[in-house]
């Protein structure tokens, strides 16, 4: 039986391979929960560290009341801040989703859109916080909007970040 080291987290080789050969946008668009629920990355800007996502209204994303199923709206927001942070901070950091909050504001029967961005200011703030403490929780916010720009839902994602190697042997990982 192999003993797991809680400080060693690595990207899944399948995703590394897919991203290497197809690029992030095409690899993530093959992700089965996204394919089945009408979620699609429509733009990935490496220089701006920004990802634009669309959730199409279709038979599979329509809920009981004929509007978007709330779980699909949340799913379109799930992985992107963690991904952007991993790309910005590198593999010397442990980065995990910690908490999420979504406020459904307006019903909608058409496609919706979200933009996720990790700015230079975010990275500076995170690194500063990590000079003062071993780990931090950092909150990002984004709005889900319709084609007219009206807010359909508001999402807050709380991300756990810790520099690798700062956990002592006797300390348990709190994730």
Q: How far apart are CA 135 and CA 94, in angstroms?
A: 9
Q: How far apart are CA 42 and CA 162, in angstroms?
A: 30
| Full-model pTM | 0.84
Task: Give me the torsion for CA of 164, 168, 9, 51, rounded to 10°.
Answer: -40
pLDDT tens-digit readout, 8-60? 566 777 777 777 888 888 888 888 788 888 899 999 998 899 999 999 988 87
Domains of the chain (ranges plus CATH)? Answer: 13-163 (3.10.129.10)
pLDDT tens-digit readout, 104-144? 999 888 999 999 999 999 999 999 999 999 999 999 999 99
């Amino acid at each position: 039986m192999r003993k797991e080291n809680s400080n060693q987290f690595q990207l899944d080789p399948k995703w590394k391979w897919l991203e290497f050969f197809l690029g992030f946008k095409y690899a993530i668009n093959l992700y089965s929960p996204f394919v089945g629920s009408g979620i699609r990355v429509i733009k990935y800007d490496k220089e701006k560290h920004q990802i634009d996502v669309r959730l199409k209204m279709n038979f599979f994303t329509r809920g009981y009341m004929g509007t978007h199923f709330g779980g699909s709206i949340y799913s379109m927001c799930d992985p992107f801040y963690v991904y952007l942070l991993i790309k910005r901070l590198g593999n010397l950091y442990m980065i995990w989703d910690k908490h999420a909050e979504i406020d459904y504001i307006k019903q909608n029967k058409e496609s919706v859109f979200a933009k996720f961005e990790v700015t230079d200011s975010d990275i500076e703030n995170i690194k500063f916080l990590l000079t003062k403490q071993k780990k931090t929780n950092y909150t990002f916010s984004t709005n889900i909007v319709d084609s007219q720009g009206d807010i359909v839902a508001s999402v807050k994602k709380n991300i756990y970040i810790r520099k690798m190697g700062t956990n002592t042997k006797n300390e348990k990982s709190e994730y």
